[in-house]
Amino acid sequence: MAFGSDNAHSCGFLRPRVQEFVQRPVLIGRRYGRPMCFELDSHPPVAPIAGAAVTHEHLVLESADGTRFAAFAAVPDGDPAAGILVLPDVRGLYGFYEELALRFAELGHPALAIDYFGRTAGADRRGDDFEFAEHVAATTPEGIRDDVAAAVAALRDRGAPSVLAVGFCFGGRQAWLAAADRHGLAGAVGFYGNPGERNGQPGPAQRAGEISAPLLALMAGEDHAIGPEAVEAFGAALTAAGAEHEIVTYPGAPHSFFDRKQEQFAAESQDAWERTLAFVAAHG
């Protein structure tokens, strides 16, 4: 199931856009000669809520295989709403996603952001010079599945009555895959994740028949790594599998547009955030 909008288009039923966004050149962050999702000084384009009562902490979780990995928890005072598992981009856990967890907690959602690299980089906090690429290459679907399971359990231990995954880039893909991994998720939101096969591993499109929770995909129209054909194939696979989903593409927006520094894409970021919260409210 998909719906159109005035400032974005969705896979499925398409409506003419009332407003066309102008395509703009955008600098994509790089470090060590490799593209990154966000610069180290990026922040979520979501304002803090003054006066919100939230407790937060850095912690270490343990997977079923004994791996210890880093996480950041933010928990609101009072009765919690649906829990949010925040799945970061290729760099793993860092400030952007800790801030995002706080923004969810300020709205009443226990939130937990996790790192992917406990098996190769340990559970200690890292500096800005962390060489993440070799650790990304060493991740496995089984390891990430076990880490997600531990994180979902930790959210439930913190009172979350249900859990949804929200991921970005690498984490967007992992959020959708988590919906196929029998974690009992209530839903999964992915920002500009790759839905196809990678390195011989099936992606969410290939595993569409295993997906057991509603999906929301928020895609960038000018994402040079994920073309429209891949997005259309994802939608077709989900439809064929009967999976509840909505895929929204923002014309002219680059990969990683959801960033306070990307002021020219503030409207797209606001729309994506509102859709995310509406999805959480509907399915959590």
DSSP string, the chain: -----SS-EEESS----SSPPPP---PPPEETTEE-SS-TT---S----TT--EEEEEEEEE-TTS-EEEEEEEEESSS--SEEEEE--TT-S-HHHHHHHHHHHHTT--EEEE-S-HHHH-SS---TT---HHHHHH--HHHHHHHHHHHHHHHHHTT-SSEEEEEETHHHHHHHHHTTTTS--SEEEEES---S-BTTB--TTTTGGG--S-EEEEEETT-SSS-HHHHHHHHHHHHHHT--EEEEEETTPPTT--STT-GGGHHHHHHHHHHHHHHHHHH-
Q: 24 lies in a domain? A: no
Q: Print the domain residue range for 152.
A: 9-13+29-283
Residue 3 forms part of a structural domain:
no
Residue 88: its pLDDT value, please? 97
Residue 62 placed within a domain = yes
pLDDT value, residue 41: 78
Q: Which of 8-12, 38-42, 57-61, 249-253 has the lowest mean pLDDT?
A: 8-12
Tell which wins on pLDDT, 159 or 19. 159
Percent residues over pLDDT 90 in the chain: 83
State the average pLDDT over residues 125-150: 95
d(C-alpha 196, C-alpha 84), whole Å:
24
Residue 185 located in a structural domain? yes
Is residue 48 a part of any domain in this protein?
yes
Residue 21 belongs to some domain of the structure: no
Determine the pLDDT at residue 36.
52
Check residue 128 and give its pLDDT: 85
Q: Worst-scoring range by mean pLDDT, 18-22, 206-210, 223-227, 274-278?
A: 18-22
pLDDT computed for residue 38 by the predictor: 64
Residue 22 located in a structural domain: no
Pairwise pLDDT comparison (87 vs 19), residue with the higher score: 87
Average pLDDT over residues 67-78: 97
| Confidence at 34, pLDDT banded by 50, 70, 90 | very low
Q: Give the model confidence (pLDDT) of 253-265 as tens digits.
A: 999 999 999 999 9
What's the structural domain count of the chain? 1
Q: What is the pLDDT of residues 229-254, one digit of tens each?
A: 999 999 999 999 999 999 999 999 99
Global model pTM greater than 0.85: yes
Domain of 63, CATH number, reads 3.40.50.1820
